[in-house]
Chain A
Amino acid sequence: MKVLSLIIALVMGALLTVILDDLPAWGDAQSPANAHVSAYYLENAYKQTHVPNVVTAVLADYRGFDTMFETGVVFVAVIGIMAILRREGVPKGAKSRKRPPHQPPDPAITGVATRFIVPFMQIFGLYVIAHGHYSPGGGFQGGVILGASVILMAMTGELKSALNRMSEDWFIIMVGLGFLIFAGVGLACMFYGGNFLDYSALAPLFSGTPQEAAITARYHAMLWVEIGVGFTVMSSMFAIYTYLASDGWMDRGL
């Protein structure tokens, strides 16, 4: 069996090496991907949205559908992990054996270090979300950093102390809320007579000439959408960690 998988892997690797020659060179301006689509985005993204970071403009505006359902994937992942791992009260049958009570570790050093670093992490996470228009970053990365700060609290101290800040009810609500914000912005565009996720339809909400207002609308809607993504990703990271680390019992954070 091991020999067979090795042969398959080698054949696939050889095929890939042969095909590699046909791929366009790295950074080739004449390649199909760079010749048409990228050129359009690079030329028009700043004019149409006033967002200097073209990557954010493409992710949150031009390909909003993609990002919205990526958020949906994270949402579904949390639901799946919850359905599999979560234990409701005292388990039945063979697993009725109670879990030995948890001896909380003495968090003398790690506790102090965590308390020192968590505020900085959270400020940085908020900065990454809010500054995604101008620098690398956005809802996903900022949400992960915010989620990691809560995970750090759960890891070093007690899971209880982290759950006091963000209880199970809350993170489940927030996972859904983030997706709802994203879809809500899309629906609001339909309400104003545009297509789903066509942010320029929100122009009547902003002042200025119609053209300016459309640009401002796209700029602001991107920020709202990123905030929605941040909500979902942050709480889902903590939710997944909680279920994995405590084996579904919700009593200890590693």
Chain B
Amino acid sequence: MIWPYDFGLLLLVVITAILALNLRDLMGASIVFGTYSFLMCLLWTAMAAVDVAFTEAAVGAGVSTVFFIATAYNIKKEAKD
């Protein structure tokens, strides 16, 4: 592990986590949460847990972000009616 790389990743993880909780816009929060998952995936890779990183990338950053966006999209439409 290279510590400056690791430290930067951890810092970004904390920033995106706080941002995802505090954003008012649901769509934006979903996308920031996807970024959070992807940063976690990079952290797993740095710790040489490649299988976990792969799962995090596919499930966390990929499909669950899509699910969140699909839900946020429907909520938005309902609010406009």
Q: Which residues of A are in contact with B by a Cβ distance under 8 Å? A: 26, 53, 55-56, 136-138, 140-141, 144-145, 147-148, 151, 155, 237, 240-241, 244-245, 247, 254
Residues of A within 8 A of B73 (CB): 245, 254
Residues of A within 8 A of B53 (CB): 136
Assuming the A-B contacts A141-B58, A241-B66, are A136 and B51 also in contact, with contact meaning beta carbons closer than 8 angstroms in the complex? yes
- Which residue on A lies nearest to B53, using beta carbons? A136
Cβ A141 vs Cβ B70 within 8 A? no
A145 to B51, CA, bound (A): 14
Q: Which of B25-81 contact A (CB under 8 A)?
A: 47, 50-51, 53-55, 58-59, 62-63, 66-67, 69-71, 73-74
Cβ B58 vs Cβ A26 within 8 A? no
A9 to B81, CA, bound (A): 37
A151 to B62, CA, bound (A): 11
A254 to B72, CA, bound (A): 10
Q: Which of A56, A138, A144, A245 contacts B63 (CB 8 A)?
A: A144
A142 to B53, CA, bound (A): 14
Cβ B71 vs Cβ A136 within 8 A? no
Cβ A241 vs Cβ B54 within 8 A? no
Residues of A within 8 A of B69 (CB): 254
Min CB–CB distance A77 → chain B (angstroms): 11
- Which residue on B lies nearest to A143, using beta carbons? B58
A-B contact count (CB 8 A): 48
Q: Which of B47, B59, B66 contacts A140 (CB 8 A)?
A: B59
- Which residue on A lies nearest to B60, using beta carbons? A144
Residues of A within 8 A of B58 (CB): 140-141, 144-145, 148
Cβ B66 vs Cβ A148 within 8 A? yes
Min CB–CB distance A71 → chain B (angstroms): 14
Min CB–CB distance A177 → chain B (angstroms): 20
A147 to B67, CA, bound (A): 12
Residues of B within 8 A of A144 (CB): 58-59, 62-63
Residues of B within 8 A of A138 (CB): 51
Residues of B within 8 A of A245 (CB): 70, 73-74
Residues of A within 8 A of B71 (CB): 244
- 21 A-B residue pairs with Cβ-Cβ distance under 8 Å, sorted by A, are A53-B51, A55-B51, A136-B50, A136-B53, A136-B54, A141-B54, A141-B55, A141-B58, A144-B59, A144-B62, A148-B58, A151-B63, A151-B66, A155-B66, A241-B70, A244-B70, A244-B71, A244-B74, A245-B70, A247-B74, A254-B69
Min CB–CB distance B18 → chain A (angstroms): 12
Cβ B51 vs Cβ A237 within 8 A? no
A53 to B71, CA, bound (A): 37
Given contacts A141-B59, A245-B70, A254-B70, 7 further A-B contacts (CB under 8 A): A136-B51, A138-B51, A151-B63, A241-B63, A241-B70, A244-B67, A244-B70
Cβ A241 vs Cβ B67 within 8 A? yes
